[in-house]
Amino acid sequence: MIRRWFYVSGIVLLGGIAVAAVYTSTALWALAVVGPLLLVGLYDSLQREHAILRNFPIIGHGRYLFEAVRPEIQQYFIELNTDAFPIERELRNIVYQRAKGELETQPFGTQRDVYRIGYEWAAHSLTPVEPPTEAPRVEIGGPDCRKPYSSSLLNISAMSFGSLSSNAVLALNAGAKAGGFAHNTGEGGMSPYHLEPGGDLIWQIGTGYFGCRTRDGRFDPGRFGDEAARDAVRMIEVKLSQGAKPGHGGVLPGVKVTEEIAKIRGVPVGKTVVSPPGHSTFSTPEGLLEFVAKVRELAGGKPVGIKLCVGRRVEFLTLCKAMISTGVTPDFITVDGGEGGTGAAPLEFANSLGMPARDGWMLVHNALTGVGLRERVAVIAAGKILTGFDMVRAIALGADLCVSARGMMLALGCIQALRCNSGHCPTGVTTQNAALMHGLNVRDKTPRVARYQSGTVRSLLELLGAMGLSHPRDLGPQHIYRRVSDSQVRNLAEVHEFLPDGGLLATDGNAVEWRNDWHAAEGVGSSP
């Protein structure tokens, strides 16, 4: 129907212009507007790819226009401050304020529904204490580590060059240098932009072995040893999985694979890079630990850890049994959650695969505690860490320290445009488009990253003081409360089960489900 009206209207318009032109030649100027529109409409009605454009010439383009600007409309005109999409405006605002050094207060009280089931809060003390003037640090390094690393409580989580622009990487690393915290390279290898500012690096080794791979994509010990010897490399992280897409491998869209990135990674220009779902170097828990020991030796004794999103508890317990049988433990385990961020991931993986972060932190902490290995392995919390309270909760649930990716991106100026996978990030954070990158000024963004990190750690310490605690290690699940019904609240020590030290090795105990999985782990020989 609309297509028919388009043809009729087009004929009428052209006829009208022709008649008007008999009386005045200026009428022909109307063709400058009408002509292109009619050509677009004619093309729309004849093409066969898009049914909407074929049935609704010209006006059908409005649908694609509104689709393109939908995130912005949602963010600026529809979202409430407490809506999550995926990071709510209230949290984005606190990151922006801290990064800019602006006032961090809010008037009129909380906008949260404090009587909603699931609402959580920290218990303050009648005898608060002064927070420490200097943030404590966490030493990472087990008994086999010869060069332990003194880590900040909050560091930059894994984001690779390629996923991020060169200016974004430069600003992040320079901010880490200025603030005395670490910067995870992500699985894309070490670029010049990671190295130039001189900030501490956590070098992540993914399944693609970028930066230390042979021509056929396997692990190259010699090349790894040369790169790991750099002074900037303070820790090595072997990536098993990522919260947003566990079991899928990394994805770097072809539009982001420039000549420079292709050279750093050793891959073809303009081709989408998909890291394998699993490592080719090992396939069993014992093989993983042998690889950890090998990498630690090749790195000269620097801390080596693993990153994972927890899947099945029995598989992680199998890894714990392998630690006991081999005597090899990673120096740290970074635990990501299903709500973790990503530059590109299939929707089904992001929405429906992987254990949420809080459950993952508790599981890893409990498992290591239950087998008597907790003191040997630091637990690093990842997965939507943005505020001081996020850090309080993570540490209370078993983490030693935290890492943040999206918080650091917001500090750089990210506006959550949700175009990370397209190469068209409007703020120059997640793009390789030179014109868009130009808008991200490294000199301006560097102090923003440092201020956000220091402000968030300071918030953690102030919350501790209000809780009557003087150190993060004093935190426990009993300090966090949750509303579990309309009329009941419980602290997290009452809500969740926490194992005693060595509890899984004892001959008796009450953790029946844990014990069942512990015994079931005997016969599991698959990759963790």
Asked if 317 and 446 sit in the same domain, the reply is yes
Residue 293, phi-psi category: left (phi > 0), alpha (psi -120 to 50), beta (remainder): alpha
DSSP-derived letter for residue 121 is E
Of 235-244, 245-254, 388-397, the poorest mean pLDDT is in 245-254
Sort strands 233-239 and 304-309 into parallel, antiparallel or unpaired.
Answer: parallel
- The pLDDT confidence band at residue 121, using thresholds 50, 70 and 90, is very high
- Answer yes or no: do 221 and 364 share one domain: yes
97 inside domain: no
Let me know if residue 105 belongs to a domain. Answer: no
Are residue 143 and residue 55 in the same domain, yes or no? no
The conformation of residue 124, written as its DSSP 8-state character, comes to P
Query: Which helix (H) or strand (E) element contains residue 457?
Result: helix 442-466
Query: Cα(194)–Cα(203) distance, rounded to whole angstroms?
Result: 10
CB-based burial label for 52 (10 Å; 0-12, 13-18, 19+): middle
Looking at every residue in the chain, the average pLDDT score rounds to 88
Asked if residue 175 and residue 47 are part of one domain, the reply reads no
Q: In 50-162, at which residue ranges do the beta strands (DSSP E only) sit?
A: 120-122, 138-140, 149-151, 154-156
Rounded average pLDDT over 66-84:
63
Q: How far apart are CA 411 and CA 70, in angstroms?
A: 23
pLDDT value at 481 more than 90: yes
Give the pLDDT band (50/70/90) at residue 78: low
**Which residue in 334, 425, 436, 320 sits closest to 382, CA to CA?**
334
* pLDDT over 90 (residue 59): no
Q: In the predicted model, is pLDDT for residue 457 greater than 50? A: yes
Write the Ramachandran bin of 241: left for phi over 0, alpha for psi from -120 to 50, otherwise beta. beta
What is the band of 146 on the pLDDT scale with cuts at 50, 70, 90? very high
For the segment 154-174, the average pLDDT, to the nearest whole number, is 94
CB atoms within 10 A of CB 306: 24
Amino acid at 62: G
- Is the same domain home to 27 and 148? no
Q: Is residue 10 part of a domain?
A: yes
Assess whether pLDDT exceeds 80 at residue 245.
no
In this structure, is the dihedral angle defined by the CA atoms of residues 391, 396, 401 and 406, taken in order, positive or negative?
negative
Judge residue 502's burial from the number of C-beta atoms within 10 Å of its C-beta, 0-12 exposed, 13-18 middle, 19 or more buried.
Answer: middle
- Output DSSP code: residue 506: S
> Rounded mean pLDDT of 130-138?
93
169 vs 183: CA distance, rounded Å: 9
Q: Which of 59, 74, 103 is the last residue of a domain?
A: 59
Residue 526 has pLDDT above 60, yes or no: no
Each as own residue / partner, the long-range contacts of residues 507-513 (CB below 8 Å, 24 or more positions apart, any chain) are: 511/370
SS3 249: coil
Q: At what angle do helices 442-466 and 388-396 cross, to 10 degrees?
A: 50
**478: Cβ contacts below 8 Å, ≥ 6 apart:** 491, 492, 493
Q: Are residues 161 and 296 in the same domain?
A: yes
Specify whether 454 is located in the same domain as 367: yes
Work out whether strand 251-252 and strand 200-205 pair parallel, antiparallel, or are unpaired.
Answer: unpaired
Residues 363, 398 contacting (CB under 8 angstroms):
no
More confident site: 463 or 37: 463
Give me the pLDDT at residue 79, please.
63
Measured between alpha carbons, how far is residue 343 from residues 26, 487, 509 in Å? 53, 41, 44
Rg (CA), the chain: 27
Identity (one letter) of the amino acid at 437? M
Q: What percent of the chain has pLDDT over 70?
A: 92
Is residue 436 predicted with pLDDT exceeding 50?
Answer: yes
Neighbour-count burial for 452-468, b at 16+ CB within 10 Å, e otherwise = bbbbbbebbbebbbebe
Do 453 and 178 touch, CB atoms closer than 8 A? no
In a domain, 87, yes or no: no
Which position has the higher pLDDT, 29 or 524?
29
Residue 483 shares a structural domain with residue 347: yes
Position 69 in a domain: no
The answer to the question of residue 511 being in a domain is yes
- Number of structural domains (the chain) is 2
Q: Is residue 132 part of a domain?
A: no
* Together in a domain, 339 and 441: yes
Closest to 59 (Cα-Cα) out of 17, 108, 1: 1
Residues 313 and 460 grouped into a single domain: yes
Question: In the prediction, which pLDDT does 145 show?
Answer: 97
Any idea which residue has 């030693």 for tokens? Answer: 400
Asked if 29 and 173 sit in the same domain, the reply is no
Domain at 169, CATH number: 3.20.20.70
User: What is the enclosing helix (H) or strand (E) of 516?
Assistant: helix 512-520
**SS3 call for 401:** strand
Q: Is the pLDDT of residue 316 over 90?
A: yes
Last residue of a domain, which of 36, 59, 82? 59
Residues 55 and 144 in one domain: no
Mean pLDDT of 498-503: 93
Last residue of a domain, one of 11, 41, 59: 59
Considering only 86-90, 142-146, 237-241, which range has the smallest mean pLDDT?
86-90
CA atoms within 13 A on the CB side of 200: 18
Tell me the C-alpha distance between 284 and 319, whole Å.
9
Give just the sign of the alpha carbon dihedral 411, 416, 422, 428: negative
Average of pLDDT values for 122-147?
95
Residue 105: what pLDDT?
76
Domain span at 428 = 138-521
Residue 465's identity, in one-letter code, is: G
pLDDT at residue 257 greater than cutoff 50: yes
pLDDT of residue 528: 39
| DSSP annotation string for 304-362 | EEEEEE---HHHHHHHHHHHHHH----SEEEEE-TT---SS--HHHHHHSS--HHHHHH
Query: Does residue 23 fall inside a structural domain?
Result: yes
